[in-house]
A and B are shown apart, each in its own frame.
Chain A
Amino acid sequence: MKPAGNVVYANLDLLDRQLRDRHGVLCGNVDDLELQRSDNGDLYVTAILAGAGALAYRMGRRRLGEWVHRASQRLSDTDADRGRIPMELVMDIGPAIDLAVEADDLATHDLERWTRQHITDHIPGHDRRANQ
């Protein structure tokens, strides 16, 4: 059982770790990991799952998690699953996990973005600064 490559413990080293985009912007946490079985039977970690839906699923609220995930997908403009980050985009695993993506391409702040675009920006005076 002596491994030859880099080693991590999923629960200890990956889950709940901070995600940073290519510019160092904080863009969520690792809420779950996707596993896939290869043709020869080995299990591989294929993606990081981030977002409220993935977290609810991990906490045992599967139906709520799937509902939140579907709702999040409806908020986004694309059909791509923006809460799924393929492992090949992981550049470094340390105190935080560095990704080769833009924070805006992830689903982490979709609700805030949708609220700003559809509600806050339509309120008169929305462009005033707080100290004015």
Chain B
Amino acid sequence: MRISDLLRYSVVSCDNEPLGRVSDVHIVQDGPIVGTQAAFRVNALVVGKAGLAERLGYIRNRVRGPWLISAMLKPIERKASVVSIADVAEWDETNRVLRLSPTTLTPLAEHVTSRLENRPGIGRAHV
């Protein structure tokens, strides 16, 4: 499987309610040691629309201005949420659908705050 395959999956709740497509994949370097470093484990999926704003840098507080564009794009981030990979109950590879177990979605902004608290210096170049 490739990450581009994963980014084509749609996510539905345990009640088959559509939640959106996978827009990003949260990866944690906490796996077993391979070579000289820990392996990168897929930890969670970002679900929902965040594409354009993300590419422009307005998602996850990378770019804050001009304020007008920032204000226009902020609501997009609020629509995105994060689901742990452990909460995926079923992988339907034929229809590219991930069905979740009964779970509570974490808003993306809340997840990012948690991420920054745990970040020792990898990944983000322009914090």
* Residues of chain A at the chain B interface (Cβ within 8 Å): 1-15, 32-38, 42-46, 49, 57-58, 86-90, 93-95
B24 at the interface (CB under 8 A from A): yes
Supposing A44-B41, A57-B4 touch, asked if A5 and B30 sit within 8 A by C-beta, the answer is yes
Residues of B within 8 A of A34 (CB): 1-3
Query: Which of B4, B35, B42, B123 has a CB less than 8 Å from the CB of A44?
Result: B42
CB < 8 Å neighbour of A10 from B24, B31, B85: B24
Pair B31/A42 contact, Cβ less than 8 Å? yes
Check A6–B122 contact: CB distance below 8 A.
yes
With A3-B28, A42-B31 as contacts: A35 and B114 at CB distance below 8 Å = no
A126 to B59, CA, bound (A): 50
Partner among B29, B37, B125 whose Cβ is within 8 Å of the Cβ of A7 = B29
CB distance from B104 to the nearest CB of A (A): 10
A88 touches B35 (CB 8 A): yes
Instruction: Indicate if B106 sits at the interface (CB-CB under 8 A).
Output: yes
Query: For chain B residues 1-33, which have a beta carbon within 8 Å of chain A?
Result: 1-7, 23-31
A1 near B123 (CB under 8 angstroms)? Answer: no
Q: Which residues of B contact A10 (CB under 8 A)?
A: 3, 24-27
Contact B27 A8 (CB under 8 A): yes
Q: Contacts A49-B2, A87-B39, A88-B36: A4 and B28 contacting too (C-beta < 8 A)?
A: yes
Instruction: Report the Cα distance A88→B40, complex, angstroms.
Output: 10
Q: How near does chain B come to A81, taking the closest CB pair, in angstroms? A: 13
For the A-B complex with A1-B84, A9-B27 known, give 15 more contacts whose Cβ atoms are closer than 8 Å.
A1-B111, A1-B114, A3-B28, A3-B30, A5-B30, A7-B123, A8-B122, A10-B3, A12-B60, A15-B3, A44-B41, A45-B3, A86-B35, A88-B35, A94-B122
Residues of B within 8 A of A45 (CB): 3, 27, 39-42
Cβ of B13 to closest chain A Cβ, rounded Å: 17
